Amino acid sequence: MSNFRVGQKVVCVKNMTTDIGLPYPEVGTVHTVRDVILCPYSKRYGLRLEGWHLGIHPDGVEFILMCEAFRPVVERKTDISCFKAMLNPSKQTVEA
């Protein structure tokens, strides 16, 4: 089973070429997953990306990019409130 899903942002992490010599996206580029497919020939999962079309295989199916060349983009919301609190320390005194 693939760890990827349609609509997910992924980053290319490995220079590869397709079985027919077509290039993969450049390392470090971010893309959106358009489709996740189990390749009937290699039995490995592959991706189709928004805006990235490799052409059609002779059997009539669009080529895919192998999952091992990508990883999910981790999107985190930045919260700096803890750092702001350190800049404005409490005025309470501690008795020893």
Tell me how far apart the alpha carbons of residues 24 and 32 are, in angstroms, rounded to a whole number: 14
Structural domain includes residue 94 = no
Q: Domain count of the chain?
A: 1
- Across 13-34, average pLDDT: 83
Any domain includes 93: no
Domain housing 79: 9-87
Question: Which DSSP state fits 3?
Answer: S
What pLDDT sits at residue 90?
64
Q: What is the pLDDT of residues 26-74, one digit of tens each?
A: 899 999 999 999 987 788 899 999 998 888 888 888 888 889 899 999 8
For the chain, what's the residue count? 96
d(CA 19, CA 88): 58
3-state secondary structure of 81: helix
Residue 3 within any structural domain of the chain: no
